[in-house]
Amino acid sequence: MNDIEKALLIEDETKSLLAVGEIVWKKTEASDNFENLTEAEKTFIYVEMLEAEINNGGFDQYFYNTSGDYYSESLQAYKTIGAHKTVKIIEEAFKLFPVNPIPKDNEKRQDILENVDEETSKKWNALEDKFYEYEENIGGLLLEFVKKNKSEFK
């Protein structure tokens, strides 16, 4: 039994997610661009990154930090795990970014964010409130994704 299989046996959903996350994030230490991860592991990481940023500081923080470099990958990751209601919220937030397509360059996004108007900030805040309602169990969807793809988690 490998470490991922052991992590999936943990009954508490949060503890199981944390255990899987620890295993996958450890693999990223060798490379900043996730090139040593499988596609399934990247999906896990992209969901975790967006979740962490939104929960810590909202969409503006997500875009401001390097996690925002992976905005399109994160959106696809939510689609992949089947979080369709959450995808709609994320898509709305991404459409509000003042420049489209959203720059992959972190410094460019930061410069743009310095001039975000009050109206955009209010709309992001409203979307964050919807995001925090968690109409879908993102953790459960993510764990189901890992279970279905556990051969890709090494």
**pLDDT above 70 as % of the chain:** 99
Among 66, 23, 60, 64, residue whose Cα is nearest residue 44: 23
pLDDT digits over 3-44, tens only? 999 999 999 999 999 999 999 999 888 766 788 899 999 999
Question: 29 in a domain, yes or no?
Answer: no
Answer whether residue 72 is part of any domain. Answer: yes
The residue written with tokens 């410069």 in the block is: 111
User: Residue 31: what pLDDT?
Assistant: 67
Asked whether residue 140 is domain-assigned, the answer is yes
- pLDDT for 32: 67
**What domain range includes position 47?**
38-152
153 pLDDT more than 80: yes
Residue 27 lies in a domain: no
- Please state the pTM of the whole predicted model: 0.94
Decide if 97 is inside a domain: yes
Looking at residue 154, its pLDDT comes to: 80
2 within some domain:
no
What is the Cα–Cα distance from 116 to 93, expressed in whole angstroms? 13
Residue 9 lies in a domain: no
Whether 71 maps to a domain, the answer reads: yes
Number of domains present in the structure of the chain = 1
Give the separation between CA 18 and CA 79, rounded to whole angstroms. 21
